[in-house]
């Protein structure tokens, strides 16, 4: 029996019968575990596991978003329910996801941020609260992750300086009328679990109370959602003019900078394209 299996067996009071690697863990080791008593779990090892468990429990307590129940979390291991899935993200799934996210985005708070820092891709995501969305996005998302990427020597100094200049003029595109809204924060295809034409699970959250447009923007970055999602979502929560034309690209600088910090490579060019588009 492996060291992991022995630990899980002791925690769950049942012997591990099967242990199978799962796809999708780009910054972590993720495995499907079948216990002798028939229970099926996901075991995850990587960075930020305690924070991830706290985020999943927060979503479960505050919303109707389908998330796996957490059974154990420490610095080395996260154990949660396995959710059977694996179906493609069809139009039907997208429409169901739109309903779930519209409901999630109806949960509000007095300020942007959260009472604890969260994580995205294993990286710290600071959430010190602020009443200004523009200031929160500038300081806790755009400039923070640019600095992280620069410190890791993955973001060229010239581009870092141009991002700083762009951040000084966000008022050209971002107003102050957004309401602090609970978001999942990391909506790409690998974090969506689908089965039978429905969205049956959302995993790997990066929660905060933010402008929900930053969530909608991320769903377009890697082609997670398309027209079926946005037609349904817009019918439930109308999307303000200018989102697709301008703010979507501006908000996608944040997840792109996360990818620069984690992986470097071609993501640097994607960031530069957007910064150049906005005149910097």
Catalytic residues: 186
**Rg of the chain over all Cα atoms, to the nearest angstrom:** 19
Question: Residue 171's CB: how many other CB atoms inside 10 A?
Answer: 10
- Measure the CA–CA gap between 113 and 134, rounded to whole angstroms: 12
Sequence-distant (≥ 6) Cβ neighbours of residue 152 within 8 angstroms: 261
| Alpha helices for the chain (secondary structure H) | 3-12, 49-62, 91-104, 133-136, 143-151, 157-167, 213-221, 227-236, 248-251, 253-263, 267-277
Contact assessment for residue 176 and residue 194, using Cβ atoms and an 8 Å cutoff: no
């Amino acid at each position: 029996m492996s060291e992991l299996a022995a630990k899980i067996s002791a925690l769950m009071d049942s012997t591990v019968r099967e242990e199978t690697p799962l796809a999708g863990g780009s910054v972590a080791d993720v495995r499907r575990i079948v216990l002798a008593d028939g229970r099926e779990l996901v075991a995850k090892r990587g960075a930020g596991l305690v924070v991830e468990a706290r985020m999943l429990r927060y979503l479960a307590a505050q919303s109707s978003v389908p998330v796996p129940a957490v059974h154990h979390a420490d610095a080395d291991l996260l154990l949660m329910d396995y959710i059977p899935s694996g179906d493609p993200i069809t139009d039907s799934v997208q429409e169901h996801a739109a309903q779930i996210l519209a409901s999630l985005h109806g949960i509000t708070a007095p300020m942007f941020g959260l009472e604890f820092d969260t994580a995205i891709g294993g990286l710290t995501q600071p959430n010190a609260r602020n009443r200004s969305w523009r200031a929160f996005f500038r300081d806790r998302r755009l400039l923070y992750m640019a600095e992280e990427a620069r410190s890791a020597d993955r973001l060229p100094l010239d581009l870092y300086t141009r991002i700083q200049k762009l951040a000084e003029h966000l008022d050209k595109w971002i107003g102050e009328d957004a309401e602090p809204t609970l978001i999942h924060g990391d909506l790409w295809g690998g974090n969506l679990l689908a089965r039978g034409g429905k969205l049956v699970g959302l995993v790997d959250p990066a929660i905060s109370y933010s402008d929900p447009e930053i969530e909608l923007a991320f769903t377009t970055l890697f082609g997670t959602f398309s027209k079926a999602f946005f037609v349904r979502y817009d019918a439930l929560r109308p999307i303000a003019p200018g989102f697709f034309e301008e703010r979507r690209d501006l908000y996608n600088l944040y997840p792109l900078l996360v990818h620069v910090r984690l992986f470097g490579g071609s993501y640097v060019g994607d960031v530069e394209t957007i910064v150049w588009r906005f005149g910097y």
